[in-house]
A = this chain, B = another copy of it.
C-alpha cells in the first residue's frame, strides 16, 4: 500500500516528485477521452525510469505468441494495445540547459489532475544560466473533437533573463515495453515537416489482422501567433524548434494542438486532409473553447453519475476517481470498442476486452448512463460471434466460446490454463444479456440479437460437458474458475452453475425470441431435450456438513488455513510465493463460489449465503482488483458492515493507495465500477429482481451521508442516505413504486 497523492474530493494532487514513484504517478495521472489516452508522462521528457505510453482505442497489433511448447488449440498471437506515437512531446531548454526533472531539481512542484473535466496541470520552478523560470504545463484530450489533444505551456521568468528553446514534436519511434520479441510494432509511412505531420502503419503480420495506419498533425502558437523557428523531420518524427527570450516578470504562452486520425475512421490516403480539417476546427475553437465544451460535457456526466460521500474524503475521492477513469475510457460513443482492463493507462494485459466488462461494469453503466451505452457493449459481443465460434472450433468444440482477451472476437491471450480453461467467461457474457433485459425492461435486444449469443454459448456448454458414467451426472472437467490461483480443476461450482443457468435462460428465452432469428438458429427439439437433460443432471460439488458449495472437486482436501495466517511480509502472495505454492494453497484470488451467489442472488437462502461467505472470505486474499467489491456487496447484505466498509475502501482506493503493489503498470480500469457497486448494491442494497427495484440501505459508521442517482426505465432517481434514514426521490420520469427496507414506497412522477 502506498499513497502518493493527497486526499481531495475533486483533485488528484501532489506537491512532490519522487523518482521511484514515477511509474505510479504516471498511472494515476493518466487521461483519456474514449478515443485516445495516455499516461502521465512529462511533456519535456524524462530520462529516469518511467513508462512511456500513448494509446489509441482499437488500434492494436497481433504480437507473436510466446509459449514454451506449441500445442493444438493455442492462440497464434497475443493482441496488444499498441504504444502509439507520442504527441505530447515538448522539448525545452533554458539558457541551453535541457529541462529534465530526472536531473534538475525543480522547486515549488505541483501536479494536479482535475476530475471535473480531466485537465492535467503541472507546475514547477527551475533555474539555469542565471534565470529562474516557472513552467506550467496543462493538457487535456477533447471530448468535443475526439481527435484533438491540447497542451499549453506557460513560462514565466521570475528572475534573470531566460532564453527558452521549445521543440514541440510528434514522435513515432515508440515501442511496447511488453513486446514478446522486443520488436517494434510500427513502421513509418512518411513525415512532412511543412505540414507538421507524421504517418505510420503497423507492421505486416502473418495472422490476417488488418494493419492500422495513423496520422498525427501538430500546430503550435506562441502568445496566440503561430510558432516560428525551424521545422524538421527524421524517420517517424517531426518537430519544430523555436527560441524566445523572457526578461524577469515576462510570461510566454505556447499552445500545442494535436490531431490524431487513424485508419479505423479515415483511409490512409485521406488522413492528411481529414487531419487538416480537424485542425482548423480545433484552432477555431481554441484552448478556451474546447476546454469549456469539455467541462460542460463532463458536468452532464457527473450530474447523472456522481456519488457524494460526506464524512470520508478518502472514500469520496476514491469513487470519483474510479467513475472518472471509467468514463475517460469508455462512454459508449464507438460500438466497435470495449473496455480494456488498463484502459489508456498502461500496456499490461494487452488486449482490449475481458469478461470484466460483463461481470463488473454492465450493472453500473446500466444505472449511470443511457441504455444505449450498455447495449453497445452487448452488441460488441454479438458482432464478434464469428470469432467466438472460431475459438470453440479451435478446441474441437461446437458453439461459441467468447475469448478471454480479444480485439476482434478471436482469442489472443497465451496461457492455455486461461484461454481454453477459464471458460466461465461465457456465462458472464450470457448473464449480461439478462441483466440488461431485466434492468431496462427492453426485450428487443435479447429477442432479436442476444438470442444468437445465448444459443451459441449454450451449444458450447452442451458440447463441453461430459457425462460421467460412474456418477450418472454431467460434469465439466479441466477448467479455471474466477479464482485464477488454481488451474485445471474439475467441476468448478461457479462454472457448472453458470453453464446450467445459461442453458435454462436460453430455453426460457427461445419461445419469446424473434421468429426469423430463431428459425435460422435451428435449435431442434432433440437439442433442447439434451439441454434440459444437462440442466437436470448437472453435478455440483457440495459439502452438506459444512453447508457450502465446494469450489471444485478436491478443494476441501487442501491444507485449509485462513489468509490471516499468512505473514504480512509475504503479501501479496503473487509477488512472494512460487506459482507452485500458490496453486496448491487454499487461497483465493477473487470471488469464485461467491461470484455465483452474487450473480444469482435470489436463488440462495440467507443461511446459504452466510455459510459460504464465512467459509470462503477468510480464504480470500483479494489479489484481483475484481475481488473486494463482490465481497463488500455480500458482506453488506449479510449485515457485516465493518467487513463491507473495509472491502469498500480496498476497491475504492485500490489504485490511489496501490493496494496490490501493481498500479505502476497502469490502473485497474475494469474493476473501478466495483466501488460504485459496493455503495449502490452493497451499502444501499439495491436489487432489481422481478421488475421490482428495491433498497436496503445502511450508512457506514464514519460517514455522515451519501447520495447517488440512478437511471431506471426512463426515470432518474436520487437516493440519499443519512443517519436519519433514506430519502428516495424521483427526479424525472413517470411514477414508480420501489421497495425500501421491505416496504413499498410510491414515488410520484416528475417532469423531466
A-side residues, CB < 8 A to B, are 65-69, 71-74, 78, 180-182, 394-397, 413-417, 420-421, 466-471, 475, 477-478, 487-488, 490, 553-554, 556-560, 574-581, 583-584
Contact = CB atoms under 8 A, between A and B. Distances in A.
A71 B467 CA distance: 35
15 contacts: A66-B67, A69-B415, A71-B579, A73-B578, A395-B581, A420-B579, A421-B580, A466-B559, A467-B559, A469-B560, A471-B557, A478-B584, A488-B488, A553-B557, A554-B554
Contacts of A559: 466-469
A413 B68 contact: yes
Contacts of A467: 559
Contact of A394 (B394, B469, B490, B578): B578
A267 to B, nearest CB: 34
A579 B68 CA distance: 14
A72 B468 contact: no
Contact of A553 (B416, B553, B584): B553
A580 B73 contact: yes
A490 B579 contact: no
Given A67-B68, A395-B581, 19 more contacts: A66-B67, A67-B67, A71-B578, A72-B574, A72-B577, A72-B578, A73-B578, A73-B579, A181-B182, A395-B578, A396-B580, A416-B580, A468-B558, A469-B559, A469-B560, A477-B554, A477-B558, A478-B580, A553-B554
B65 A68 contact: yes
Given A67-B67, A487-B488, A420 B466 contact: no
A122 to B, nearest CB: 34
Contact of A557 (B67, B396, B475, B581): B475
A74 B182 CA distance: 20
B471 A414 contact: no
Stoichiometry, as copies per complex, reads 2
A641 to B, nearest CB: 32
Which 4 A-B residue pairs are closest in the complex by CB-CB distance? A73-B578, A68-B414, A71-B579, A488-B488
Contacts of A576: 72
A546 to B, nearest CB: 10
A581 B395 CA distance: 7
B466 A558 contact: yes
Between A413, A490, A557, the greatest number of chain B beta carbons within 10 A of the residue's beta carbon is seen for: A557
A553 B581 CA distance: 20
B579 A74 contact: yes
A308 to B, nearest CB: 40
A71 B73 CA distance: 22
A168 to B, nearest CB: 37
B466 A579 contact: no
Given A553-B553, A559-B468, A577 B396 contact: yes
A35 to B, nearest CB: 29
A201 to B, nearest CB: 23
Contacts of A558: 466, 468, 477
B466 A584 contact: yes
Nearest to A416: B579
A558 B474 CA distance: 10
A22 to B, nearest CB: 22
Nearest to A180: B66
Contacts of A78: 68
Given A420-B578, A557-B468, A558-B477, A583 B66 contact: no
A576 B71 CA distance: 10
A575 B70 CA distance: 11
Contacts of A181: 181-182
A396 B578 contact: yes
Contacts of A397: 580
Contacts of A579: 71-74, 416, 420
Nearest to A67: B68
A343 to B, nearest CB: 20
Contact of A66 (B68, B182, B394, B475): B68
B415 A68 contact: yes
Contacts of A470: 556-557
Nearest to A66: B66
A676 B559 CA distance: 44
A468 B67 CA distance: 34
Contacts of A180: 66
Nearest to A413: B68
A409 B471 CA distance: 44
Contacts of A416: 579-580
A218 to B, nearest CB: 36
